[in-house]
Structure 1
Amino acid sequence: MNFLAHLFLSGKNEEVMIGNLMEDYIVGRIDHERNNHLNKDIKHGIMLHRLIDTATDSNPFVSNCKLVLYEKYHKYSAVLIDIYFDHFLAVHWDFYSKEPFDLFRKRVYFSFEKHWNILPEKMKPMIESMITHDWLKNYAEFWGIERALLGVSRRTKFESNMEKATDDLKIHYKLFKDNFEKFFPELLETCNNFLDVNGYENIG
């Protein structure tokens, strides 16, 4: 899953949400001494991110989607599905969340600004761009997906052609949507169970 899903699946705790998105900037075990400066909620967010990635990578509905793209995009097919699924979450937001999408985005952006001092320095330019250009809203539009894919493509070490993958989303739209609708409730339940066990408010 990509940024929107990771943020949504974090529930209502600000630091769990920040930790979830911070995971890409954390090396190794959460309990390693290098991570001692992180508080409990941030660490739970990192753990939740890793749980989401594991559940996504092993899910047969996600695999169905990767197979459609693998011949053309190889290992990058997983990245594409993450972004496609953020698109479906944005488009069908009201089905999965009681919180209006506008209020959710404002809450997310405010939370990052409020906790700016705890963000890794390498993460800050990405968050600044997310807030300035309202990435989360843009996932609902094909041009927003194309823009996101172009950004990812520029960061890959090898030529990926991911910037052209909006066409594949359009061609196989129903297949991707159907598999998302089967997969996402399972992931939602997994994340709610994690939040429950650790004493956090459920997603909604």
Structure 2
Amino acid sequence: MNFLAHFVLSYPDPELMAGNFIADFLNKKEQDSLDICLYKGVEMHQWIDQYTDSHPNISSFNRFFNPVIGHYAPVASDISMDYFLYKNWNKYIDVSYLEFSKLAYDALRIHDYLFPEKPRNTAHRMIEGDWLRQYTSLEGMKYVMYRMNQRAKYKVDFTLTIPIIEVEEEKMNSLFIEFFEQAQIAAKEWKLVN
């Protein structure tokens, strides 16, 4: 899952949300020296990634994208899940998307003095560019996928996934709903024991 889903599963705890956000941007040394208030969010992020990667619905999601982007399919699946989360927003969250975006950005602002440089810079770019808004439309998703082309190690065109989402949206949405309902339950259980 991408930024939005990680924020949602760690909501309403701002420390969990902030730690969850920075997890992908930390090296081992930074993670080991991280302030304890953020460390649980990093652990939760890692747990969410493991949970997601092992879920059968995610394997099905990946199969939609495999023909056009090969081994990058899991990356496109993670990103597109944020789009489906937005589409089903009222099923999962009791605040408006706009208000939630503000809460997520506030969680980053409040804790950014604890972030190492790379995640701090990324958080600032995210807030300034209102990245969470991109998941609200296929046009925004196309922009996100285009940006991913520039970050990929090997030549790939992530934008080829957008027509697939348009054609297979109903099937993908059903897979997402089933997956995310289970993920929310599992995340609540994780928070209780960690």
TM-score tier (shorter): over 0.9
Contact 2:146 2:158 in 1 (8 A): yes
Task: Note the C-alpha offset of 1:169.
Answer: 1.0
Secondary structure in structure 1 of the residue aligned to 2:33 = coil
For this pair of structures, how many residues does the alignment match? 194
Structure 1 gaps, min length 5: 199-204
Root mean square deviation, CA, Å: 1.6
* Percent of pairs with identical residues: 27
Give the structure 1 partner of residue 118 of structure 2: 122
Query: 1:71-126, CA deviations, whole angstroms, 9 ceiling, x for partnerless residues?
Result: 22111100111111100111211110112222111111122122221122112332
Runs of 4+ in structure 1 over 3 Å off: 33-37
In structure 2, distance between residues paired with 1:184 and 1:19: 21
Task: Note the C-alpha offset of 1:36.
Answer: 4.7
Q: So what's the TM-score if we normalise by structure 1?
A: 0.89
Query: 1:105-153, CA deviations, whole angstroms, 9 ceiling, x for partnerless residues?
Result: 1111122122221122112332222212222122011111011111111
Secondary structure in structure 1 of the residue aligned to 2:38 = helix
Give the structure 2 partner of residue 27 of structure 1: 27
Give the structure 2 partner of residue 201 of structure 1: none
Secondary structure in structure 1 of the residue aligned to 2:46 = helix
Q: 2:159 aligns with which of 157, 163, 169?
A: 163
Give 1:55-70 correspondences, 5 Å limit. 55-70=51-66
Contact 2:26 2:119 in 1 (8 A): no
In structure 1, distance between residues paired with 2:122 and 2:35: 22
- In proportion to residue count, which structure has more helix? 2
In structure 1, distance between residues paired with 2:151 and 2:126: 16
Structure 2 gaps, min length 5: none
Give the structure 1 partner of residue 182 of structure 2: 186
Secondary structure in structure 1 of the residue aligned to 2:10 = coil
Task: Note the C-alpha offset of 1:165.
Answer: 1.8
Give 1:87-102 correspondences, 5 Å limit. 87-102=83-98
Contact 2:57 2:176 in 1 (8 A): yes
Give the structure 2 partner of residue 7 of structure 1: 7
